Amino acid sequence: MSLFPTTECVSDQRLKTFIKRQLVSFLPRLFFVPSKELYGAPIAISESTRESSVPYFFVLGSFGRRFFSVMVDEAADQMYEIPVVAEKAHFQGMTIFQGELYWEFWQRNGQSTFPRQVFSVQRLLRIAGKVIPPEKPWTDVYPVIQSLFDCNGKDICLYPRRWPEKARELANLQKIVCLGTLYCLTFRPKRWFAAAEMATMERTYIPSLRHCFDPLPAHLVTDSRYNFAVPETTSFFMLVKKGRADEWFVFARLENDAVVDMTVRGFSGKPLICMPNDLLVRAFNTVTSSLHAVLFRATHCEDAIECEPVAVRPEKKIPDSVAFIEEVLQRK
């Protein structure tokens, strides 16, 4: 299923330009991926939703004497209007979060209902006009995210008719609350555990989840400049372009955000070869686009590295970095 938060896109080009300018300074930081080996053991762990989610920014602000609340894709290209209630200070000074959007399979009284969307908030970049410095300890920032988005079990799915009233009550308690979309979108803080609590997480937290997640946990590592959640994974995203005569080209991202053809660059002297399957062929036949973000799993062969498509994400705009892909390939 597609992971667009709503069908209500921002149409005001001036507003889109304004928001993109506010996000430009954060883009290089958010997509820099440090190596876990360089920075020691993780200080926290959680489930990884890398294979089933799409990253978005969530921005509250004001422009032209009106407040706005939008979700923005990772390239700051597509923007979606989201109905929100929150304190005025978050709009007046601008507040920016980053997280992941995924589908949750909701149940009520033991009966499955329609799936709904969850935006899992992972990072706080700016709050009420104050930029969060990269060197600020993650252990100081995470409780702020929890306090803003933990609604103590109150949810639109439980109070569909009275939710606007409930949402405003929560906003008065200094929460940031989604009023709901066509997909019953809700905001939720990402849940992290101390590394020593791995067994507790696996016994109590993981069985309670109602969304798809990767089998390996995400690790939070600390860089001297940035705090980052880096998924320990065996897969990676590349952009795929279909050429003539059934040629397939795969691209990754360099540190300067330029893209490079991994079929030519390769890894350890071996080219990365895209092995098309029905999943990939259907995606290019049904969606009009020259490029698709595709999640791959790789197999080392004698003279090449064969990459099998696992998922196609038209909503995702930015491929993984060359450094990240090489780190994954080294582990295989």
Please give the structure tokens belonging to residue 191: 């849940």
Residues 201-216 have pLDDT tens digits of: 989 999 989 998 887 7
| In contact, 116 and 157? CB cutoff 8 Å | yes
Name the pTM for this structure.
0.87
pLDDT recorded at residue 292: 85
pLDDT recorded at residue 70: 97
* Residue 104 binned pLDDT confidence (cut-offs 50, 70, 90): very high
Tell me if the domain spanning 235-331 has CATH number 1.10.10.
Answer: no
- Please classify residue 250 by burial: count the beta carbons closer than 10 Å to its beta carbon, then call 0-12 exposed, 13-18 middle and 19+ buried: buried
Percent residues over pLDDT 70 in the chain: 87
DSSP helix/strand/coil, 197:
helix
Tell me if the domain spanning 13-231 has CATH number 3.40.50.740.
Answer: no
pLDDT recorded at residue 188: 96
Q: What is the largest CA-CA distance in the chain?
A: 63
User: 231 or 327: whose pLDDT is higher?
Assistant: 327
Residue with tokens 């597509």: 78
| In contact, 252 and 259? CB cutoff 8 Å | yes
Q: 261 pairs with which residues across the strands?
A: 251
* Residue 150 binned pLDDT confidence (cut-offs 50, 70, 90): very high
Residues 169-197 have pLDDT tens digits of: 999 999 999 999 989 999 999 998 887 88
DSSP helix/strand/coil, 321:
strand
Residues 227-257 have pLDDT tens digits of: 455 566 778 999 999 887 778 999 998 877 7
* Residue 36 binned pLDDT confidence (cut-offs 50, 70, 90): very low
Residues carrying CATH 3.30.470.30, the chain? 13-231
Q: Pick from 172, 84, 88: which is nearest to 128 by CA?
A: 88
Residues 134-148 have pLDDT tens digits of: 777 777 888 999 999
Residues carrying CATH 2.40.50, the chain? 235-331
